[in-house]
Structure 1
């Protein structure tokens, strides 16, 4: 796992926490932040996956 994959996973995890907090407190701000962070995490993890794939090719 490279640093981009790790950062992506952290963002995805933080999104899940915000989603849970949104359910508890009904905060639309947290919901919007969580969705944005999820998208950023997905992109970051995808970049990390591409880097790992390129490492493995001869």
Structure 2
């Protein structure tokens, strides 16, 4: 595993956590409904899984 792969995965995790926090904040403030929040979280999870799969390959 190269430093680039580790960095890519770490970046993906950081991006996911930031995105998830933003979704929760928007939901708590009433800016988005539950369905929209789940859709955005699903998108962030997809990105995280893709980064993990690339690192594992």
Q: TM-score, normalised by structure 1?
A: 0.49
Larger Rg: 1
Task: Give the TM-score taking structure 2 as reference length.
Answer: 0.49
